[in-house]
Amino acid sequence: QSVLTQPPSVSAAPGQKVTISCSGSSSNIGNNVVSWYQQLPGRAPKLLIYDSDKRLSGIPDRFSGSRSGTSATLGITGLQTGDEADYYCGTWDNSLTTYVFGTGTEVAVL
Amino acid sequence: EVQLVESGGGLVQPGGSLKLVCAASGFNFSYYWMSWVRQAPGKGPEWVASINQDETVRYFVDSVKGRFTTSRDNAKDSLFLQMSSLRVDDTAIYYCFCPRVGWGQGTPVIVSS
């Protein structure tokens, strides 16, 4: 059972915006930076956001990340069918001394 | 362009061993902690191990402690995962991973008799 909680799924129409939350604690998100990963069906995960709010080179500015307290958020604007994927947050947990991933969120474009 | 390329996966019997290799390029490999992550079919990613820049610190998930070890060669921009006493539940795609750089394409490990 993951220590980072995400909603199982979010959905919106093409062109709309979705946000994905990642809820943790002081031992992980509260004191460490967060990364966000996209996993398209049948593909390897791909890094989108690192250090909580920095986009990897080549990632469209439709993707954004933020962190506040013990939670982090991934935003996707201008939703496209190609954005349909599973999204995971991840960070280090100081108490567990492990890297932890979120439970994962499936994004559907209606 | 950042690249992480894993190799060494395959089919192995329970109790067997495998050594995975990750070849890195396009970034300053020696600057970063590096990690291994695995993903079983239909499951989310599971962190396996991390190693610091000069190999003085290593962390492992409890389920692999005593069976897996990780090392690196900064001169060759390479990361290694030595797996022994493999079990059926170690079956997964194994990825080389750095949270600030990216992921490899993965190499499959199948433990089956």
> What is the per-residue pLDDT across A44-89, written as a single tens digit (0 to 9) for each?
999 999 999 999 999 999 999 999 999 999 999 999 999 999 999 9
Asked if pLDDT for residue A1 goes beyond 90, the answer is no
Partner residue opposite A44 with nearest CB, options B99, B101, B103: B103
Beta bridge partners of A50: A54
Mutate to test the interface with B, among A99, A100, A101, A105 (most CBs of B within 10 A): A99
When pLDDT is averaged across residues A94-108 and rounded to a whole number, the result is: 97
Instruction: Provide DSSP, chain A.
Output: --SBB--SEEEE-TT--EEEEEE--TTTGGGS--EEEEE-TTS--EEEEETTTEEPTT--TTEEEEEETTEEEEEE-S--GGG-EEEEEEEEETTTTEEEEB--EEEEE-
Rounded to the nearest angstrom, the minimum Cα separation between A3 and chain B is 12
Chain B positions in Cβ-Cβ contact with residue A46 (cut-off 8 Å) = 102-103
Q: Work out whether strand A9-12 and strand A105-109 pair parallel, antiparallel, or are unpaired.
A: parallel
Q: Which residues contact A98 (CB under 8 A, 6 or more apart)?
A: A92, B47, B59, B61
- Residue A4 to residue B14: CA distance in whole angstroms: 32
H/E segment holding residue B81: strand B78-83
Query: Residue A2's pLDDT is what?
Result: 80
Q: Give the C-alpha separation, B58 to A47, whole Å.
A: 23
**pLDDT value at residue A12:** 96
> Is residue B34 scored above 90 in pLDDT?
yes
